[in-house]
Structure 1
Amino acid sequence: MKQVIFSLFLSLSVTFVAFAQQSSKSLSGEVVYKNGDPVISAFVYIKEGSKHAYTDEKGQFTITDLKSKAYEVIVQPFGKSEIRLKTDLTNTSDFLKIQLEEDETFELDNVIIESKSKGRLTKEKGYSVEVITTKDLALQSLGSNEILDRSAGVKIRQSAGLGSSVNYNLNGLSGNSVRVFIDGIPIRNYGRAFSLSSIPPSMIERIEVYKGVLPGELTEDALGGGINVVLKKEKKTNLTASYTFGSFNTHQADINGNFYHEKTGINTQLSAFYTYTDNNYEVYGDNVYVVNPQTGKVKYVKAERFHDAYESKGVKADIGVRDKSWADELTLGLLISDMDNDIQTGATMDVVYGNRRSERDTKMASLKYKKSDILLDGLDFNTFSSFSQTNRKVIDTIPYMYNWLGEIIRDADGNPINWRNSGGEGGQATLANNKEKNFANRTGLAYEFIENHSLKGNFFYNRFTRDIDDPMLPKAENELLDTRFLSKQIYSLSYDASFFDEKFSTSLFFKYYKQKVELTDIQKDRNDNIIATKYDKSISNEGYGLALSYEVHPKVLLMSSAEKAIRMPGVTELLGNTSQNVLPTYTLDPEKSTNVNLGASFGPFIYKKHSLKADVNFFLRDISDMIVRGVSSKIDDKYGFENLGKVRSTGFDLELNYNYNRRLKIITNFSNFNARYNLKYDEFGSEYIYYKDRLRNAPYLTLNAYAEYKFPNILKKGNDLSFNYNFSYTHEFFRNWESLASSGKAIIPTQAVHSLGINYSLMENKLNLGLSAKNITDEQVFDNWALQKPGRSFYMKLTYQIL
């Protein structure tokens, strides 16, 4: 509690001190051709501070958080040479209007710098990172997870259809080893209803994928890297709505509005989303069968999922001010979301449910404050606090057994057969309501004490509590259910510097982790007596790392990063999750890993109308006490988590990006990793039978290819037609350790998925119609533990820019 009070006190204190400071400046402008047409996606860059922006569909741009001084502004339209301009922000915010000839090229002598994308600027810090922009993809019938799944080194592990649980695999590490953030804040603070499955791409500006090593400012314990989703924060007024309808009675709608008043600096953002699907796709295979209860004869069937409906909805509102003398940004945020989810299977497809379901609702309030040059020049301050409350209910009171045809299994007399007389399908009958509260604060200071040399300090505090109330339990047992506490503190300190005219950059960081868990566990002995066991454990660890980059040539950047990484056990791993059949495992140890990356970025090389760029990354992960999902129990289909000795993973990923005349785009990537169990002997000196085996249930070779071609000005100027094709390949992998059986080993088969799409934009991109056909060959697609995902499906998406 002391840390909570201290964080809030620090945030408020600095806010009041900052009232005396000067306001930051902004630079706006417009880049157009002489005939009045806007220059779209021109790159506008200010070298000092690496500030940049792209022109929008109107050719307009805005760069914020600038100081009151003169700047050199570099503008580069796509496929053309850059131009340089001078502007002075000493007195007021400036506005630049730049006119170009349509076929004009600019020849400059003594070119100082070339245009750099957001990804390039981040890579120059030495981290292995991929930056995905969603501007064009947001118009297609794609979810945010699907966009991520097409990226190099990323594999989405989903347990079923839309709304099912998702794990993110980065270079072979998955689960909680990979942290997901929204604007740098852990996504778990927002509640599961507000997840990447429900956040529409239209709300997202970009997605940053860090592989292996996280920068200090994200301040989280992550072993395999992190995914940071940056939501849109535009300083203009707009309103966009979209609606998607498709297979399995899927409906997705969202509306996003931003309202900005330049004179007062007041900025309001409002987003709402709704998602519903029956998820009634067909499944078949070794785990889909019906059993005759009289004869025991097994019959394999092709069945439709009959109890897997998913519904989520939410509203997110932010109101604040920007560019004031006392704050670059001060924003109050509110989020309300809820989710209803039928549960079709247990941890595997051998168990079928017909009545079990879960509900969740989340309310969250947040406060964000940023100020540059807060007490002296070069000192920047930011803080973000959030408090959320989630009610997570599990409804399971009918013990009937179902088969894959949606029928209640009956005995010879026609009476329903129950699940082990336990009162529910997943175990004991339950109406458990888990009341979860989550407070988080992240505060950071950055001080540039010499030009191109800065110190950064970040503090992250998270406190999670869970109270359980289950009226289905006996009164004495229900009253003994205690609050679960889990708190985490992370401190990071980093030193960033660049040398040799910013060609060589370094980032050295240190992190300190501390976690505490408290709870009372209720168990029964052999005589059904209730035993309450207190559990209290604190752990702490240290980590450190270094990231380097060197610009060999303006088109060639070398990067390397290394880290001793620590990852604490997460809430679900430690405390379990009844709706997902996850058992608590209080004794888990933290994961530890030595992560090394070595990569290079080439390009973009531009020749006339052609553009080509490439990125490659080699990695090593040497992991101890890796936390993995255990094998499900054959008796009750529940599972827990376990520490897995030692694992060593090596591999690489490669991505190529080709563009012709801004009409043809081809992106292809290839990822391969070799993760093997690396502990030879157990505690008794016996050799593990699966020593040197590949990691079980983990894909290790993937390939993605995406192609898109645009036909501009179809039927009318401003109307664009585009066709796209996506190919996704996952090589076969073993479901369990490959050495555990000599024959008949369970294999997740090779999966090759083809998808097509058509997009037609009218009214200068204000109205867009998208059609997509996913998995057109109806490939049988699996993921975690042979859980089958949807086959062939069709979707239509309508997007309209109202303002």
Structure 2
Amino acid sequence: MKRLLLSLLLIPITLFGQDNFTIKGKISAQNGNPLALISVKLETGGKSTQTNDNGVFEFKNVNAGTYVVSISGVGFKSTRSKINVDDNLDLAFTLQESSQAIQDVNIIGKSKAMQLSENAMNINSLDISKVTDLSLGAEEVLRASTGVVVRQSGGVGSELNINLNGLTGEAVRIYYDGIPMEVYGNALQLNTIPVDALQRIDVYKGVMPVDVGTDALGGGINLIPVEPTESQLRTSYSAGSFNTHRLTLNGNKNWNDKTSLSISSFYNYSDNDYTMRNIRNNIERFDANGDFLNIEREYIDARRFHDQHASSFVEAALSLKNRRWTDKLVLSFSHSYRFDEIQQGKFIDGIAVGEAKGKVNGITQRVDYRKKFMDDKLSLRYFGILSNAFSKVNDSTKFVYNWTGAPFKRYNDTGSEIFSSPTARDAHDLGTAHRLIANYQVSPNTTLKFSDFFSYTRIKGEDPFGIRLSIDGQLLDPNSIPSKIHRNIVGAELEQLFFEKKLTAIGFYKNYKYVGESIDLRTSSATILPIRKINDTQNGYGTALKYSILPSLFVRGSVEKAVRIPTEPEIFGDFLVILPNYELKPETSDNINAGISFSDHLGEEAYLSIKIDGFLRNQKNLIRIERVGIENARYINQAEVDGKGVEFSSRLTFLKSLDISANLTYQSNKIAKVGKAADNASIGRQVPNIPNFYYNIGVDYKIEDVFRSQNNLRLFWTYFYTDRFSINEVGNLDTASPEYIVPVQHLHNAGATYSLVNRGLSFSFNVQNALNAEIFDNFRIPRPGFNCAFKINYTLIYK
């Protein structure tokens, strides 16, 4: 009887449901990036929807028949396609950029970058789509962001330092797809990642969401890699000045609607042999008998001769989605590599480095799991990473070089060029990080978010030339004793909407805990291993508010106590030059951010966006490096810094295809308190090596249907201005030594891209430092003069 009743109940479902089908689809830009909030409409029947963050749309319960699908979105050409529905369909559409009048668009869609930029927390999300075809690294895109200064110690792949609203060094965390980049073992670095390997760059200023941030002191940068969703192959090759070459290859194959396999890879190489102007060079002087007299100084134009860089990254990923047990599961394996010849130390002085070099190999496994429950009210995400990095630094020569590339006749007494003593250190860094995120929609206006981040690092190695400790009469290489540290950061965040969603209020709490141990390098002799252990717990908290005055105008602000845990080298030393400091305390900062934002369409052919933001920071227990004796240094908690600043950014699009942007930053970061009475003279001085005033202006112009229909030409020009500043503490810039002053800088970049849309081809040519100006970077290191690059891109989309 039960079976009969069940059969009778199923009859109407079968009769009335046999002609009902599901239409799924994916909408992407020409570069393969998914497009969110694009309007999709079935013209017959009146069904309409929008794409989600992954560019996916879906219509359920569609009757059999012929339909016209209409697709439209701001900045893209509208399209209409006829489809025949007699089964479930899985469609794919690629939209072409357009400058058509806005009145032709049914619903104004916003990209993921635009949505993030309108968050209650101050996020500047940089869309990569306009510069994907250019021969640039991620650091060049970041330079144009408001409040960001990118500092390098040379050319491609050189040591990188990010300054964000006055915060610098480790105080600004860099993430790769939500995982701190250092977990990858230093083989992967921001300035080795080409732009076409990324989907966007999210710059967080002040408060960071609990599901992204770790222990950033008031800002962070999250690099979002390309995640193609349709079957495609994209490759590019560029060649440029200083024998620079970049190659990328990204592909994705959808086996069905539930399984796909993708690959993401890039390779960089550069000699970095650019000319530095008017730098100091040491010359040996000898008498007629060949006896040494003295060292003389001269100022010359010198070509860098020992600065070769090579790096590569390849990641293969298997994606499973739309399963009963997971919405999405990504399993990936990657290998990263970098090789660097070392040309100089932190500064440019009269002696060059001619032989020291280093390399890193990294092997990484990653898992990303996502699932929604309870009618999509509860979403869970877990992602974890396991990394093994194998590095080697070799600085064990007796030769000394000057900037002509010639060795001195006299040998080096220390037997090393960079470090205080020779080294050939091999190291194995084991790193793992895990994050669990739970997001619960309590009500339409209330969202609760929880995040737990755990990381563990172990460092072990050997150095045949390194220091030795005497343990019970036996000499021991301290590198062979592992240093370990693990962190756990728990966060909870509550978001509440008020007044018909005009007011967004976010409150959050974070708990920071770390535990570590390492051998004490300061022990000269002992009967047992001198292992030192450290641990600490800190709490952070804050709130963020946003109020929409008009649909196009909102104000927002945030207050936060932020915490930054010291890094392994800061606590344990580097077994070479940096001594350990087990008493080092975490940095904290009281941050206040406030701003106003306006963005709207002005008529049919114009768009205007204006943002003004200000910040106040009180940074305590600032971690700074201090020289100890002649050869060594260590990190100490020395100062308290008061920071303040204002930022202005604007963007104007008009005449259908002309885009003008401008960003300006003024900031002041003064030392308010010092740890020693002897350093009282520093109070009131600006923190060195950080510019106070800088701005940039960019112009982008697109011409459609050049020579042939669907062939587009895009021209761009960017100007960067940086006011003068000092690389050390000075009371007055006007009376300070010119050798320590970075003068006013004017940098012009320009380029052009020609795209054959129907063929998936594009060609670009871009020029950096077009006027060959003298440009300086971190600690007054000269940057390249005029340099250029040519790039070709090819995209193949297939079924």
CA RMSD of aligned residues (A): 3.5
The aligned amino acid for 2:273 is N
Q: In structure 2, what is the Cα distance between the partners aligned to 1:490 and 1:41?
A: 33
Distance 2:252 2:455 in 1: 30
Which residue pairs with 2:369 in the alignment? 369
What letter is aligned with 2:616?
L
> In the alignment, is residue 790 of structure 1 matched against residue 789 of structure 2?
no
> What residue number does 1:734 align with?
726
2:591 aligns to what? 595
Partner of 1:334: 333
Deviation at 1:761, TM superposition (A): 1.2
Q: Per the alignment, do residues 522 and 556 of structure 1 end up closer, same or farther by CA in structure 2, a change over 3 Å counting?
A: same
- Do residues 464 (structure 1) and 457 (structure 2) align? yes
| Residue identity in the other structure for 2:557 | S
1:623 aligns with 2:619: yes
Deviation at 1:682, TM superposition (A): 5.0
2:209, 2:380 → 1: CA distance?
Answer: 17
Number of aligned pairs?
736
User: Could you say if the C-alpha distance between residues 145 and 576 of structure 1 is closer, same or farther in structure 2, counting changes exceeding 3 Å?
Assistant: farther
Deviation at 1:713, TM superposition (A): 1.1
Asked if the contact 2:607–2:654 (Cα under 8 Å) also holds between the matched residues in 1, the reply is: yes
The answer to whether the 8 Å contact 1:522/1:531 transfers is no
For residues 193 and 98 of structure 1, the distance between their equivalents in structure 2, rounded to whole angstroms, comes to: 35
The one-letter amino acid paired with 2:558 is S
Residue 536 of structure 1: aligned partner: 533
1:556 is aligned, of 547, 553, 558, to 553
Amino acid in the other structure paired with 1:611: Y
Partner amino acid for 1:722?
A: R
2:368 aligned partner, one-letter code = K
Q: Could you tell me which residue of structure 1 aligns to residue 653 of structure 2?
A: 659
User: Is the strand fraction higher in 1 or 2?
Assistant: 2
Partners of 1:687 and 1:97 lie apart in 2 by 64
Alpha-carbon distance in structure 2 between the residues aligned to 1:303 and 1:96 = 54
Larger Rg: 2
User: Any idea what the Cα deviations from partners look like across 1:409-449, whole Å, max 9, x if unmatched?
Assistant: 11xxxxx321x334665232222111100011101111112
Distance 2:95 2:384 in 1: 44
Write the mapping of 1:559-570 to structure 2, written as runs, cut at 5 A.
Answer: 559-570=556-567
Name the structure 2 match of 1:500. Answer: 499
Post-superposition CA distance 1:92-113 (Å, at most 9, x none): 78879999999787599xx9x9
In the alignment, what sits opposite 1:304? 303
**8 Å Cα contact 1:597-1:620 kept in structure 2:** yes
Give the partner amino acid of 2:420.
Answer: G
Q: Secondary structure at the match of 2:196?
A: helix
Q: Which digits, 9 at most, give the CA deviation of each residue in 1:513-540, with x for residues without a partner?
A: 0011200033475xx9999642211011
* Structure 1: gaps (5+ residues): 1-24, 33-37, 56-60, 84-90, 411-415
Give 2:531's aligned amino acid: K
> Aligned AA for 2:601?
F
Deviation at 1:578, TM superposition (A): 6.7
CA distance in 2, matches of 1:286, 1:532: 47
Cα contact 2:279–2:302 (8 A) shared by 1: no
Q: How does 1:515-534 map to 2 (within 5 A)?
A: 515-523=514-522, 533-534=530-531
Distance in 2 between the 1:714 and 1:51 partners?
Answer: 32
> What does residue range 51-70 of structure 1 map to in structure 2 within 5 Å?
52=51, 61-63=55-57
CA contact 2:339–2:359 (8 Å) conserved in 1: yes
Shift of 1:625: 1.1
Alignment partner of 1:224 out of 194, 218, 226: 218
2:475 is paired with a residue of what secondary structure?
helix
After the TM superposition, which of the residue ranges 207-216 and 581-590 deviates more from structure 2?
A: 581-590
Check 1:379–1:302 CA distance in 2 against 1; reply closer, same or farther (3 A cut).
Answer: same
TM-fit CA distance, 1:690:
2.0
Amino acid in the other structure paired with 2:597: S
- Following the alignment from structure 2 to structure 1, what is the Cα–Cα distance between the partners of residues 341 and 426? 16
Deviations 1:124-180 (A, max 9, x none): 441111111111201012111000011111110111111111111111111111111
* Structure 2 match to 1:13: none
Q: Whole-Å Cα distance in 1 between the matches of residues 693 and 759 of structure 2?
A: 38
Is residue 450 of structure 1 aligned with residue 443 of structure 2? Answer: yes
Identify which range, 379-388 or 117-126, moves more after superposition: 117-126
- Whole-angstrom CA distance in 1 between matches of 2:523 and 2:408: 30
Determine helix, strand or coil for the equivalent of 2:115: helix
Normalized against structure 1, the TM-score is what?
A: 0.85
Distance 1:561 1:119, change over 3 A: farther
Question: Residue 240 of structure 2 aligns with which residue?
Answer: 246
In structure 2, distance between residues paired with 1:322 and 1:256: 20
Distance 1:94 1:606, change over 3 A: farther
Report the Cα distance in structure 1 between the residues aligned to 2:727 and 2:154, rounded to whole angstroms: 16
2:27–2:35 contact (8 Å) kept in structure 1: no
1:215 alignment partner, SS class: coil
Displacement after TM superposition at 1:582 (Å): 5.0
Structure 1 CA distance, aligned partners of 2:482 and 2:680?
A: 39
| C-alpha deviation, 1:643, in angstroms | 2.4
Report the equivalent of 1:440.
433
Shift of 1:586: 3.6
- Which residue of 284, 303, 316 corresponds with 2:277? 284
Cα distance in structure 2, aligned partners of 1:550 and 1:763: 41
Q: Which amino acid aligns with 1:137?
A: V
What code does the residue aligned with 2:707 have? L
Q: Distance in 1 between matches of 2:439 and 2:268?
A: 40
Q: Distance in 1 between matches of 2:633 and 2:455?
A: 26
Q: 2:433 touches 2:456 (CA, 8 Å); kept in 1?
A: yes
Asked whether 1:199 is paired with 2:193, we answer: yes
Report the secondary structure of 1:488's partner residue: strand
**Matched residue, 1:673:** 667
- SS of the aligned residue for 2:554 comes to strand
Counterpart for residue 3 of structure 2 = none
Whole-Å separation in 2 of the counterparts to 1:737 and 1:770: 43
The 1:271/1:95 distance shift into structure 2, 3 A limit, reads closer
Offset at residue 278 of structure 1 (A): 0.7
Greater RCO (Cα-Cα under 8 Å, separation 6 or more):
1
> Following TM superposition, by how much is the alpha carbon of 1:336 offset from its aligned partner in structure 2, in angstroms?
0.5
Residues 257-314 of structure 1 show CA distances to partners (whole Å, capped at 9, x for unaligned) of 1122343x11211012111111111113354444536233211211111111011112
Match among 699, 713, 717 for residue 705 of structure 2: 713
Alignment of 1:128 with 2:127, yes or no, is no
Query: Percent identical across equivalent pairs?
Result: 27
Conservation of the 8 A alpha-carbon contact between 1:237 and 1:257: yes
8 Å CA contact retained: 1:179, 1:226: yes
Verify the 8 A CA contact 2:259 2:318 in the aligned structure 1: yes
Moved more, 118-127 or 295-304: 118-127
Asked whether the equivalents of residues 400 and 425 of structure 1 are also in contact (C-alpha less than 8 Å), the reply is: no
2:223 and 2:791 map into 1 onto residues whose CA distance is 22
1:463 Cα deviation after fit: 0.3
Give the aligned residue type for 2:712.
D
Query: Which residue number in structure 1 is paired with residue 262 of structure 2?
Result: 269
Q: Is the 8 A contact 1:79 1:606 kept in 2?
A: no
Q: Secondary structure at the match of 1:782?
A: coil
Q: Is the 8 A contact 2:275 2:304 kept in 1?
A: yes
Deviations 1:690-711 (CA, angstroms, capped at 9, x unpaired): 2111111111111111112122
Q: 1:671 to 1:522 in 2, by over 3 A?
A: same
Does the CA-based 8 Å contact 2:37-2:50 persist in structure 1?
no
Given that 2:414 and 2:422 are in contact with CA atoms closer than 8 Å, whether structure 1 keeps it comes out as: no
The TM-score normalised by the length of structure 2 is: 0.85
Q: Which moved more, 1:428-437 or 1:732-741?
A: 732-741
1:646, CA displacement in angstroms? 0.9
Instruction: Check conservation: 1:702, 1:728, Cα contact below 8 A.
Output: yes
For the pair 1:405 / 2:404, whether they are aligned, the reply is yes
Q: Which residue does 1:35 correspond to in 2?
A: none
State the alpha-carbon separation in 2 of the partners of residues 27 and 495 from structure 1: 33
Aligned to 1:429: 422
1:613 aligns with 2:609: yes
Cα–Cα, structure 1 residues 165 and 98, in superposed 2: closer, same or farther, change >3 Å?
Answer: closer
